[in-house]
């Protein structure tokens, strides 16, 4: 077999790869849309499915919430201390609190919650779902049976979305409390100034962007690995050491973060 007969021509190969990529992204978007609709549909939460969803919420949030909160509190403590001490040493203490709130609450904590849930649940999900070898038959496309999607994946997707949101919200509140305690100490007299600073940071657009970014992080973490695990794999595709969906998930998170920063600061 000659090389020209065994391999497709270069433009053709590029076109095929491009087509597969487009199909893959479309599959992701379609799956995400269906998952969101199902999550928001009350009929998805009958007794058995509600129990299943509760199990996933327990597994993805309840079990990890204490030590994730402790971990983020520790990291927040270190960061707040560094920022405050540095700002005071440069005579810019009036900006320290605002910087802490912007850096920690608006940027780092939602991203760390998303990455944490990705590592714990998303990739574990992929590890369980991924075929062990290419000899396994390709998986079918999603949407073939809405009922099966509802039965199989919805609870897990809902659990992951909820986990990212809960971890981000609770850790943000803890970081805000820690920031107040580190700057003002255990004293109520700093509350008006602190509230004013928080209010200045959370302008309506910034607050909306923060909420939207966190929700998009949660959806990405829940949907991308699930969509990748159900995506039909092309026969003869090169085996990858990376779990399916991992690269795409990080790309999506990067895009969301970049878009958020761009819209907020430019």
Partner 1 sequence: MDAMNSPPEPAASNASAKPIAHVEFKAMLLLALMLVLIFSFALYVMVARGVFESTQRLVLIADDSEGIVVGMDLTFAGFPIGRVRRTELADDGKVRILVDIPSKDLRWLRASSVFTMERGVVGETRIRAYTGILSDPPLPPNSERTVLRGDATAEFPQLVAAARDLLANLGNMTAADSNLNASLGNVRTTTERLNGRYGVLGGVLGSDDNARKIITMLERTNSLLTKADERVFGKRGVMDETQVAIAQLNAILSDTRASLQKVDAILAEAQVVSSNARVASTDLGALRKEVDTSLRRITQLVDEINRKWPFARDTEIKLP
**Contact footprint for partner 1 (CB under 8 A):** 50-62, 65, 92, 121, 124-129, 137, 139-140, 142, 144-145, 148-149, 151-153, 155-156, 162, 165-166, 169-170, 172-173, 193, 195-196, 198-200, 202-203, 207, 229-230
Lookup: tokens for 178: 């820690």
Rounded to a whole number of angstroms, the minimum distance from the CB of residue 1 to partner 1 is 34
Closest CB to partner 1 among 111 and 164? 164
As a whole number of angstroms, the distance between CA 260 and CA 49 comes to 34
Angle at 192 between CA 189 and CA 196, to 5 degrees: 145
Q: Can you list the alpha helix ranges (DSSP code H) found in 41-142?
A: 47-57, 65-89, 93-100, 109-117, 123-129
Q: What is the DSSP string of 202-248?
A: S-HHHHHHHHHHHHHHHHHHHHHHHHHHHSPPPTTPPP-SSPTTHHH
Q: What is the DSSP string of 97-110?
A: HHHHIIIIIIIIHH
Rounded to a whole number of angstroms, the minimum distance from the CB of residue 169 to partner 1 is 5
Rounded to a whole number of angstroms, the minimum distance from the CB of residue 131 to partner 1 is 10
Lookup: tokens for 77: 């403590």
As a whole number of angstroms, the distance between CA 179 and CA 101 comes to 8
Closest CB to partner 1 among 121 and 224? 121
Closest CB to partner 1 among 86 and 203? 203
Sequence-distant (6+) residues with CB within 8 A of 224 are 28, 32, 122, 245, 248, 249, 252
Distance, first Cα to last Cα, the chain: 56
Is 218 in contact with 249 (CB distance < 8 Å)?
no
Closest CB to partner 1 among 162 and 260? 162
Rounded to a whole number of angstroms, the minimum distance from the CB of residue 153 to partner 1 is 5
Closest CB to partner 1 among 63 and 240? 63
Closest CB to partner 1 among 21 and 196? 196
Rounded to a whole number of angstroms, the minimum distance from the CB of residue 56 to partner 1 is 6
Rounded to a whole number of angstroms, the minimum distance from the CB of residue 106 to partner 1 is 12
């Amino acid at each position: 077999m000659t090389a020209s007969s065994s391999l497709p021509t270069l433009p053709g190969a590029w076109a095929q790869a491009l087509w597969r990529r487009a199909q893959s992204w479309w599959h992701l978007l379609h799956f995400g849309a269906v998952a969101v609709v199902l999550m928001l549909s009350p009929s998805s939460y009958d007794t058995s499915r509600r129990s299943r969803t509760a199990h996933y919420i327990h597994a993805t949030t309840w079990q990890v919430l204490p030590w994730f909160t402790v971990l983020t509190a520790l990291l927040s403590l270190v960061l707040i201390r560094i920022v405050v001490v540095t700002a005071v040493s440069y005579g810019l203490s009036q900006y320290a609190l605002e910087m802490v709130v912007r850096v920690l609450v608006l940027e780092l904590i939602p991203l760390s919650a998303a990455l944490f849930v990705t590592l714990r649940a998303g990739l574990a999900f992929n590890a369980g779902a991924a075929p062990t070898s290419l000899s396994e038959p390709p998986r079918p496309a999603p949407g073939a049976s809405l009922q099966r999607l509802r039965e199989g994946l919805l609870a897990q997707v809902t659990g992951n979305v909820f986990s990212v949101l809960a971890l981000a919200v609770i850790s943000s509140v803890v970081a805000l409390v820690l920031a107040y305690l580190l700057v003002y100490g255990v004293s109520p007299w700093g509350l008006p100034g602190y509230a004013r600073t928080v209010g200045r940071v959370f302008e309506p657009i910034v607050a909306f962007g923060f909420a939207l970014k966190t929700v998009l992080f949660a959806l990405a973490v829940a949907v991308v690995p699930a969509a990748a695990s159900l995506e039909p794999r092309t026969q003869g595709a090169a085996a990858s050491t990376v779990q399916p969906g991992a690269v795409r998930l990080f790309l999506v998170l990067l895009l969301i973060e970049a878009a958020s920063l761009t819209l907020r600061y430019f």
